[in-house]
Amino acid sequence: MSNALCQTTLIRAARAVDALAITEDAWMLVAGDTILAVGSGTDAPPAHRLVDLGNATLVPGFIDIHGHGGAQGAYDNGPDEIAAALTMHRQHGTTRAVLSLVANPFPSLARSLDTIRDVMSSDPLVIGAHLEGPTCGSFGAP
Ligand SMILES: [Zn+2]
């Protein structure tokens, strides 16, 4: 374990919300990207560093399973607009995203999926793509 991962951080917040409960006067002890312990009140363990979020609410990262973009960009429009949208969403708590594509002709969808595959190869926080379908006639139908 590297030295940075051995350093513990105690995060305090007015409350924490997770799948099980809303906890007032919450704390969470972390080391690197691992949660070591959670609790409330004054019984928090000692840590190398304290981050006090004041009156903020501590929540798990959001998983966006249906989004078309953001920051005036669309996931259909190439890597620059994807990057801008992901940056905006991450500033607001999204930690994982499935990138949704609007219905388009099949060749356009294939290009967009190639781009998303490339993004996923360097960004593990993008966990997939969602298609709203090809447009009519994409497969040669009348
Ligand atoms: Zn949609």
- What are 65-97's pLDDT values in tens digits? 999 999 999 999 999 999 999 999 999 999 999
Is the same domain home to 67 and 50? Answer: no
**140 assigned to some structural domain:** no
CA-based end-to-end distance of the chain: 61
Both 21 and 67 in one domain: the answer is no
Which pLDDT band, with edges at 50, 70 and 90, does 140 fall under?
A: low
114 Cα: distance to centroid of ligand 1 (angstroms): 19
The residue range of the domain holding 28 is 3-58
Total tally of structural domains belonging to the chain: 2
If you measure from the C-alpha of residue 140 to the centroid of ligand 1, how many angstroms do you get, rounded to a whole number? 24
The CATH number for 38's domain is 2.30.40.10
CA of 134 to the centre of ligand 1 (A): 13
Domain shared by 70 and 121, yes or no: yes
| One domain for residues 104 and 122 | yes
Residue 63 has pLDDT above 90, yes or no: yes
Q: Are residues 71 and 25 in the same domain?
A: no
Give the pTM.
Answer: 0.76
Residue 142, pLDDT above cutoff 50: no
